[in-house]
Homo-oligomer: A and B are copies of this chain.
Amino acid sequence: MIQTLQKEKDLVDKKIRTLFEEAGDLPMYHMLRYFMGYSNDLKTPSEGKHGKRTRSALLLLTANMYGGATSALDLAAAIELFHNFTLVHDDIVDNDEMRRGQETVWKLWGVPHAINSGDAQLLLTSRALLNAAYTDSVHGTKAAQTLNNHFLEVCEGQYLDFELTDKQVGDTSVTEERYFEMIRKKTAVLVGAATEAGGVAAECPEEDVSVLYEYGEALGMAYQVKDDLVSVWSNTEETGKRAYGDVYERKKTYPVLYTLEHGNREQLISLYTKKEELSDSEVGEVVQLFEEAGAKDATQRKLEEYVEQAKKCVTKLSIHDEDKEVLSSIVRKVVDTAGTLAKTAV
């Protein structure tokens, strides 16, 4: 997404590496270094296999647009540590054995170690937040509180995801509204947290705070909806994703919820509640149901709505025009690129 921010990303990685070094050399920390992509002395070489540092780069970028902040690097380290912490625990819960082309923490060291070292990473996150509060007792503290409040919303999003996953598609509580609330908390909130905290730390004008958050949240929603789109109607060569992957896994993404509410509900429920795996032709039937209901267009419209919302936010911010152009170009990239920010993908 933000390929150009290499300098910012390097600074964040340096900061996080220092936090790990200060923590010590107990093997528990090696597991975390491995997951963060800093260590290649373990079973699977992992140099370069780390995430894209999108959230932390966005935080630094935003802070710099308001003149920078002494606490920005601590806050950027915190959001990146937090994001990766959620992935360590998600991989346990989802029983995922691979991420970013390498084995997950629970797969390599077992569930107890993955729970505990994930907890340690969350405490390193708090350490970075408290460092921000220590560095700048007014704005650093405020920005750290902003981040931590949003972190809690991500846990709420995980809870809502469990709830939605546990329910059959035919359940009356499986609705578009609940789905959007879930992806908002699970994915988009953390992008909004990045842009908001960057501004708060850098003492942006009061009226920019909520606009910054709204920009990030809309950006995160756009990414997730784009991900929903390409996971059904992907050009495999372009995205590297399996065509109709989400349909084979019967994930409750937006096209499914749209079709349930606006298309042939009964037939979709009957296919999605089958005990056996879906055959290729049944997957074809599902996609046909989506298209008859107009779910592809609806998903594209949703994507455009979020893109427009984010762009509109940009115009309201009291930043330089060239910075507005940077924020707008990030939004445009969402439309052009296959979704890669979705929580499960980065």
| Residue positions of A touching B, CB distance < 8 A | 23-24, 26-28, 89, 92-93, 111-113, 115-120, 122-127, 129-130, 133-134, 137-138, 141, 144-145, 148-149, 151-152, 155-156, 158-159, 162
Question: In the bound complex, do residue A123 and residue B141 qualify as a contact, i.e. CB atoms below 8 Å apart?
Answer: no
* Distance between A152 CB and nearest chain B CB, rounded to angstroms: 5
Copies of this chain present in the complex amount to: 2
Quick one: which of B26, B112, B158 contacts A116, CB cutoff 8 A?
Answer: B158
User: Given A133-B130, A134-B145, A149-B127, are A155 and B115 neighbors across the interface (CB < 8 Å)?
Assistant: no
Question: In the bound complex, do residue A28 and residue B133 qualify as a contact, i.e. CB atoms below 8 Å apart?
Answer: no
Report B-chain residues with C-beta under 8 Å of the C-beta of A149: 127
Q: Describe A's contact surface by its main secondary structure.
A: helix
Distance in angstroms between the alpha carbons of A179 and B174 in the assembled complex: 51
Listed A/B pairs (26) with beta-carbon separation below 8 Å? A24-B156, A28-B159, A89-B115, A89-B119, A92-B115, A93-B115, A112-B162, A116-B155, A116-B158, A118-B119, A119-B122, A119-B155, A120-B152, A120-B159, A122-B122, A123-B148, A123-B152, A126-B129, A127-B145, A127-B152, A130-B141, A130-B145, A130-B148, A133-B141, A134-B145, A141-B141
Distance in angstroms between the alpha carbons of A133 and B28 in the assembled complex: 28
User: Given A112-B162, A122-B119, A162-B112, are A26 and B89 neighbors across the interface (CB < 8 Å)?
Assistant: no
Which of A134, A137, A152 has the largest count of B CB atoms less than 10 A from its CB? A152
